[in-house]
Amino acid sequence: MRKKVIAANWKMCKTPDQVQPFFREFLPLVASHDRDEIAICPPFLDIPAALEAGKDSNVAIGAQNMHWEKEGAYTGEICGSMLLAIGVTHVIIGHSERRQYFGETDDVVNLKLKVALELGLIPIVCVGEVLEEREAGLTEDVLRRQCLRAFHAISGKKARKMVVAYEPVWAIGTGKTATPQMAADAHVLIRAEAAKSFGEEFAEQLRILYGGSVKPENAKALMAESEIDGALVGGASLDPKSFAAIVRY
C-alpha cells in the first residue's frame, strides 16, 4: 500500500500574518489524521511562519520551487540547501505555471530534481498536458517526454523519495477536473515510464498525485482510484475547512 500525500499549493497567495490563523483552524481538523502524509507549500516568505505554526504537528512544510545550483550569483533565487536549513521537507518542481510563465523546460526540471534528491528533499515533480495537446491526442506523448526528460540520468536509488503529480493544465484553476478514469489512465502511463527509468519495483512504490481543481466534492471519487496516491491542491487549499475536508475525504 502506498501512503497517500495530500499537498497544498498556496501559489502566490497569503501574507505571513495569514499563516498562523490558517494553521490555528486547520490543525485541530486533521490532528488525529495519520492515514496520509499532509504537506503545505506556501510562498517562500510565508515558510518560516508555517514552520512555526506547524511545529510538532502532522503537517510537513514544502516550497513551491527552488534553484538547481547549490549557491551563487542568481539574483532573486532560493536554493534547496536554504530550504533544508530551515526545516522544509518537500519541494514542488516543474509546476505548469513555472513552465508556462517562467520558461522552465524539461531540462531545468531535471536539474532541479537531481539537486532536490541529492539534498534529501522530497520533490513533487509536476507533469501534465495542456488542452491543445489533449485535443490533438498528444497526451501520452507529452507525459512520456516530460517523465523521460525529468528522470534523465537519475538512479532509482537516488530517486527513492520522489513523488510525481499529474496535473492536466486544462484542469488547473478552471473548475474542470479530469475524471478519475482519465487521471488513472495518465497515472498508469507515468508509472510505466517510471518503471522504464527506475525499474518495476520502484514504479510500484512511486506515489503519483493528481492535481487540477481538486475540491472537497470530488476528492473522494478521485482518491478511490487505486492509481491515485494523493492530491496536489491549489485553490481549495487556501481555506482551512476546505483543505481539511479534502484531507479527510
**37 tagged catalytic:** no
Cβ 218 to ligand PGA, closest distance in Å? 10
Q: What stretch of H or E contains 126?
A: strand 122-127
Q: Which of residues 62-121 bind ligand PGA (CB under 6 A)?
A: none
The active-site residue, picked from 67, 90, 95, 187, is 95
Piece in contact with ligand PGA (CB under 6 A), picked from 22-30, 69-77, 155-163, 167-175: 167-175
Kindly tell me which of 96 and 197 has the beta carbon lying closer to ligand PGA.
96
Which of 233, 240, 189, 228 is CA-nearest to residue 214? Answer: 233
Q: Measuring CA to CA, which residue among 28, 4, 41, 12 is closest to residue 240? A: 28
Is 95 a residue of the active site?
yes
Binds ligand PGA (CB under 6 A): choice among 214, 219, 244, 247: 214
Select which of 104, 129, 133, 167 is catalytic. 167
Cβ contact 91:81 at 8 Å? no
3-class state of residue 238 by DSSP? coil
Q: Name the one range near ligand PGA by CB under 6 A: 15-23, 68-76, 81-89, 208-216.
A: 208-216
**Of residues 6, 147, 164, 172, which one binds ligand PGA by CB under 6 A?**
172
DSSP H or E segment with residue 36: none
**Sequence letter at residue 162:** M
Residue among 208, 241, 230, 240 nearest 7 (CA): 230
Residue written as grid cell 498528444: 138
The correct pick among 36, 104, 167, 227 for binding ligand PGA (CB under 6 A) is 167
Among the listed residues 4, 9, 108, 117, the single contact to ligand PGA using CB under 6 A: 9
Question: Per residue in 81-94, is it b (16+ CB within 10 Å) or e — as a string?
Answer: bbbbeeebbbbbbb
Please count the residues of this chain forming the interface with ligand PGA, following the rule CB under 6 A: 13
CB of 156 to ligand PGA, least distance (A): 26
Q: Which residues are catalytic?
A: 95, 167
Q: Give me the residues that bind ligand PGA (CB under 6 A), please.
A: 9, 167, 172-173, 211-214, 232-236
